[in-house]
Amino acid sequence: MDNEQTINYAIKLDIFEGPLDLLLYLIKKNEIDIYNIPIALVTEQYLQYLKMIKALNLDLAGEYLVMASTLIHIKSRMLLPVPEEPEEEEEDPRAELVRQLLEHKTFKEAAANLGERPLLERDVFTRSALLPEEVEKTNTDEEELMEISVFELIEAFHRIVSQIDKKVLMEIDLEKLSLTDIINNIMEQLSVTKSLTFEDLLKGKKDRRRIIYTFLALLELIKLRMIKAYQTSVFGVIRIFPAVES
């Protein structure tokens, strides 16, 4: 093996996808008829390649060795004398290998053909902008209501409280509040508007006592089944509806 060949082998090495690929390369390089493979020649060149790979200290996948033994086996079978009157049609020892090679070649070509098609996001592109209708749709999706449990209400409550500026929480509210007043107030508002958010009820006065009282009032009303609380999404706005249409 001369030097030029060595370099050639080394360069070609990483483009092979396994032993079948290597064999196809050897067949092409030697301009061999795939249906009539000179098995001795191909086996010799194949083994040279394996030596190359080993010499380069590259990992030799087990499949390459399996193929090597297959080739040697076929070669030895080819050397056996053909019986003069074969009992039944003896299959060419190369047949199975040829079938495998043809199949492999077919799919290599198929892969190449697929790659040449107009590929999405490479050659052809679809509409990617959101249409106004789609923007609308997402909004209405969020408006889809789900009934929430008291637990979820507490979650939401906790979230609201934690969002409030700490300083505001420190302020003392001088307004006198009673639970009954707030309950009456909520029911009164609901009789007018049919639906309220938790934030509506607080009317922007996000002081701790009002929040807690409002919250307790809601819990009481839910317990009494006077109102229903809904949430648009898990962390969405809580909406309160009268339990019974008045």
Partner 1 sequence: MENIKAVIEALIFASDAPLSLEKICIILSDVEKQEIKEALEKIVLEYNERQSGIYLQEVAGGFQFRTRPELSPWIKKLKSTKPHSLSPAAMETLAIVAYKQPIVKSEIESIRGVDVGAPLKGLLDKKLIRIVGRKDVPGKPIIYGTTRKFLEVFNLKDLLDLPNLRELKELNQQQEIVEQEIVEKTTEDISNL
Least separation in angstroms between residue 18's CB and partner 1 is 3
Residue placing its CB nearer to partner 1 in the complex, 110 or 224: 110
For residue 229, give the DSSP letter.
Answer: E
CA atoms of 75 and 42, how far apart (whole Å):
10
Report the site for partner 1 in 120-149 (rule: CB under 8 A). 120-129, 131-134, 137, 144, 146, 149
Mark 95-114 with x for binding to partner 1 (rule: CB under 8 A) and - for no binding: ----xx-xxxxxxxxxxxxx
Residue 40 lies near partner 1 (rule: CB under 8 A): no
Q: How far apart are CA 116 and CA 125, in angstroms?
A: 16
**CB closer to partner 1, 136 vs 173:** 136
Smallest gap from Cβ 63 to partner 1, in A, equals 5
Least separation in angstroms between residue 43's CB and partner 1 is 16
- Asked whether 165 and 208 are in contact (CB, 8 A), the reply is no
Place of tokens 């002081």: 207
**How far apart are CB 153 and partner 1 at their closest, in Å?**
11
Distance CA 145, CA 233 (A): 7
Read off φ and ψ for residue 18, nearest 5 degrees: 100, 175
Q: How many helices (H) and strands (E) does the chain have?
A: 11, 4
Closer Cβ to partner 1, 128 or 162, answer by number:
128
Size of the site for partner 1 (CB under 8 A): 50
Minimum CB distance to partner 1 smaller for 48 or for 232:
232
Quick one: tokens of 74?
């076929």
Distance from C-alpha of 142 to C-alpha of 144, rounded to nearest angstrom: 5
Quote the radius of gyration of the chain (alpha carbons, Å). Answer: 40
Considering beta carbons, is residue 111 or 168 the nearer one to partner 1?
111
Interface with partner 1 by CB under 8 A: which residues? Answer: 17-21, 61, 63, 67, 99-100, 102-115, 117-129, 131-134, 137, 144, 146, 149, 151-152, 155, 233-234
